[in-house]
Each structure stands twice: as C-alpha cells, then as structure tokens.
Amino acid sequence: MASTTADDAGSGRLAGATVTMRSGAKNIAYQPATLNPTPSKRYYLYLMLPAIIILAAISIYPFLWLIYMSLHKVDIGGAGDVWNNFKNWSRLARDSKFQDGWWLLIKYSAMCMLLEVGLGVLLAVILNNSRFEKMLVTIFLMPMMMAPVIAGLVWYYLYNGTFGWYHWLLQSAGILGETSILGDTSTAMIGIVIVDVWQWTPLIILIVLAGLKRVPRDQLEANMVDGAGPFRNFLQISLPNLYPFLLIAILLRFMDNFRFIDAVLVLTGGGPANSTKILPTYLFDVSFQFFKLGRGAAIALTLLVVTIILGLILVRLFDSPAGKAGQTSAEN
C-alpha cells in the first residue's frame, strides 16, 4: 500500500523521522540528542576525551599495576620483580595484623560513626530551632577546614601526658590517670575516635540540617492537630524523612574513615602496641615503612574492593529524596 502525503501528515511523522519523547526523561538537558539529529555525539566525545584519558591513566593503569604488584615480590631497587605465585595473597590469610587491621578498622569506623551521628542529629535538631543557627553553624564548621594532619598534631599536643591541656582536664576531673590517653592500649582507640568525631561531626550536622529543612511542614502540623507532642512529632514525621540523609552521612563517614589516616598516623602511628593499627595504617606501614610493595598491593586491593562496594551503595542513594530539587548527579 503506497503511503501518501496525507498519510504521513495524519500519523505525525516529521520529515521521515519519527519523533519520540523518552518517557520519564528526568534529565532536562538530555533532550537534544534525539530532537536535533545534527552531528553531535562526536563533538561531545572529543570534549570528554582529555579528562577520560587522564582518569584512565590515573586509575586504570595503577589498578592494573596493583594487580601486577600483588602477584610479585616487588623490588623497588630495580633488580626486577619476582613472580610470587600468589604468596602475597596466601600470606594474608595467616597475617594476624591484617585480620586485626580489619577488625580495628571496623571498630574504629563504627565508634566514630555512632558518636558523630548521635551528636550530629542532636545538634542539628537544636540548631534548627535556634535563632543563632547560621552563626553557630559557621563556627561549628571550622574543624572541618583543618587539614586532618594538623588536627592530629594539635590533639597530640592536647593529649600529651606532660603538657597537654586536654589530659590535664581529664586528669583533674578524675577520668584519667597519669598515662596519656594515647599511650595506653585500652584508651588509645578512644583517643583517635575523639579526634575524628571532633573534626567531622559538623558534616553530619550540616547533612541532617539540610534534611530537617526538607521535612514537609504540613505533615508536622497535621500530626500536631491529630494529637502529637513535639517529641512524638519528631519521631513519627521528621525521623522517617531523615533516613536517606542519615544513610548518606553514615556511608560517607565509613568510606572516609577507610580512606584517611592522616590524623591516626600523627597521633599514634598505629600504636601503642598496634592497638590502633587500623587496616589502612597497616597498609601504610607495609608499603612505605617496610617497602614490601607486593604485599601492600594485595592488601590495597582488598581495601579497594570493600570501599568500592560501599561506594556503589552510596551512589544508589543519590536517587533518594536527599538530592532532589535540582539533583546533581546520578539521574542517568
């Protein structure tokens, strides 16, 4: 059956190409590629190229190197790498410091995270109802601006058993004895946790504050009319609305605790007696103190895998209501 121009007009065809709108297209910027069939893709690809190349050089290449190194006894002296026959990996299973490292890392992250979220939520709720919110938040932000290594140094100074003010305070209050908090294996972990909590609670405050401001006001009011007091209201309405934010905060801090050891290095270096030798710190020792790069690579790979998994979960959360109203990233 021959198609006539009338047919074409009736069926809504546009110059031979059917125009379709993607249903549910969330990315308003997306539309061009189908509506404007002019040569476009190549242009964009070229634009992306430099960045992609750099990234590939910085991530894929090192990643491959990591795998390579984990399978060799790496000699940085230049004498050549020796194939290790998976020895680096099998050693890990017997390496108590490796296992301790993971256990301590989880313990460390969990403690930090619990305290930070607990304090953070409490403070965010208080600040949200305060007249001085803006001013106080700005002050509370300051610890985050410090380099973690510097924070570590300052707290090291404060913790010192001889001349540290913090130690003096705790000792005078009867909480501590003479040994500094970092010098005692039973308290060292708490010591480094406090530093992390000091520095990063403000981030949790910021995140929870952003979440509190998104809680729909009329639901709160409806619940008030229904008979809820302010505390009940928070639990029933505000808190459920905060879950995506809290989840993001928790994951983020977990990941950051895996990644950054600046402060720990300066505060305890992993001691005393390896009581704070969290895995990344152990990795640092193996790679850059003992220079066993092969072993280090194997450890690094395990750390990488876990962090990536956490990252995957975090990215899922980008689609949550937390990032709405002008969603930034993963709405592809």
> By CB under 8 A, what part of segment 181-220 binds other proteins?
198, 202-203, 206-207, 210-220
Query: 91, 92, 97, 140: which one contacts other proteins (CB under 8 A)?
Result: 140
Burial zone of 91 (CB within 10 Å; 0-12 exposed, 13-18 middle, 19+ buried): middle
| 330 vs 214: CA distance, rounded Å | 20
**Which helix (H) or strand (E) covers residue 29, if one does?**
none
**Residue 254 contacts other proteins per CB under 8 A:** no
Number of residues that bind other proteins (CB under 8 A): 141
Q: Tell the smallest beta-carbon distance from residue 115 to other proteins (Å).
A: 12
Q: Residue with structure tokens 């992993």? A: 270
Among 86-94, 96-104, 136-144, 181-189, the segment contacting other proteins (CB under 8 A): 136-144
Cβ distance to other proteins smaller for residue 122 or 273: 122
Cβ distance to other proteins smaller for residue 185 or 241: 241
Contact present, 192 and 108 (Cβ < 8 Å): yes
Residue 14 bridge partners (DSSP): 17
Map the footprint of other proteins across residues 60-99, applying CB under 8 A: 61-63, 65-66, 69, 74, 76
**Residue 248 contacts other proteins per CB under 8 A:** yes
Query: 2, 14, 51, 93: which one contacts other proteins (CB under 8 A)?
Result: 51
DSSP 2: P
Contact present, 179 and 272 (Cβ < 8 Å): no
Burial zone of 310 (CB within 10 Å; 0-12 exposed, 13-18 middle, 19+ buried): middle
Among 6-14, 94-102, 181-189, 309-317, the segment contacting other proteins (CB under 8 A): 309-317
Map the footprint of other proteins across residues 11-40, applying CB under 8 A: 27-33, 36, 40
| 107 vs 278: CA distance, rounded Å | 9
Contact present, 167 and 160 (Cβ < 8 Å): yes
Quickly list DSSP for 127-191.
Answer: HHT-TTHHHHHHHHTHHHHS-HHHHHHHHHHHH-TTT-HHHHHHHHTTS--SS-TTTSTTTHHHH
Cis peptide, bond prior to residue 272, ω within 30 of zero: yes
Cβ distance to other proteins smaller for residue 12 or 229: 229
Cβ distance to other proteins smaller for residue 13 or 311: 311
Query: 232, 235, 273, 290: which one contacts other proteins (CB under 8 A)?
Result: 232
Query: 7, 8, 44, 118: which one contacts other proteins (CB under 8 A)?
Result: 44
Q: Tell the smallest beta-carbon distance from residue 186 to other proteins (Å).
A: 21
Q: Tell the smallest beta-carbon distance from residue 279 to other proteins (Å).
A: 9
Residue 17 bridge partners (DSSP): 14
Map the footprint of other proteins across residues 264-283, applying CB under 8 A: 265-266, 280, 283
**Residue 308 contacts other proteins per CB under 8 A:** yes
Q: Tell the smallest beta-carbon distance from residue 27 to other proteins (Å).
A: 6
Cβ distance to other proteins smaller for residue 148 or 191: 148
Contact present, 297 and 283 (Cβ < 8 Å): no
Q: Tell the smallest beta-carbon distance from residue 204 to other proteins (Å).
A: 10
